[in-house]
Amino acid sequence: MAPGSSNSYSPEERHTLLETARLSILQGLERGRPLSIDPFRYPEPLREKRATFVTLQIGGRLRGCIGTLEAIRPLIQDVAHNAWAAAFSDPRFPPLSKSEFDSLEIEISILTPPESMVFDSEADLLRQIRPGMDGLILEEDGYRGTFLPSVWKSLPDPHEFLRHLKQKAGLPPNYWSDTLKVYRYTTESFGE
């Protein structure tokens, strides 16, 4: 959803974003670069600066996931860039091959602006987290990690969710500090 808006993206806008993601990956396979996008050829909601993640799966298994946490470019461009990056630049996977393209499942998550959380202990933080709804960003002294709200499907317990997020950020799972920063966001997610 756009900041301050209660409307989600229309079926046509979602279709355009998914098609753009697929075309950007195809462009990467054929030309080695993401699809070039002129945002002014698209409706206003797709031109707003938004942060996104694009998740790729094949047969229900993760094949790549790349995104941005800050809104740095128009939504349509962010999706094109992140789809290409998820296919070819996720360090956990080799670049996508042409033989995998037709099996690719694409999910787009559009993030709300992150909100700083105020808490005085880990127990207080855990009480405030909304399972299934919140994506979290954790920061501490140069360490940073995020989990999208979709991660709740595999880590439904808030304590385990937070422990794994600390590890993703490069911190020990039982780490705690009074200088730890946590931000929450929600997403509008859709796929094909």
Q: What's residue 83's pLDDT?
A: 98
Q: What does pTM read for this prediction? A: 0.90
- Residue whose token pair is 């938004």: 50
Distance CA 97, CA 87 (A): 9
Give the CA distances from residue 191 to residues 50, 94, 107, in Å, rounded to whole numbers and listed in that order: 17, 22, 4
Question: 79, 155 in Cβ contact below 8 A?
Answer: no
Q: What's residue 159's pLDDT?
A: 96
- Beta-bridged to residue 188, according to DSSP, are 110
Q: What's residue 5's pLDDT?
A: 40
pLDDT digits (tens, 9 = 90+) for 95-140: 999 999 999 999 999 999 999 999 999 999 999 999 999 999 999 9
Stretches in the chain below the pLDDT threshold 50: 1-6
- Angle subtended at Cα 106 by Cα 52 and Cα 4, rounded to the nearest 5 degrees: 30
Domains in the chain: ranges and CATH: 11-111 (3.30.700.20), 115-186 (3.30.1490.150)
**Which contiguous run of DSSP H or E holds residue 88?**
helix 75-88
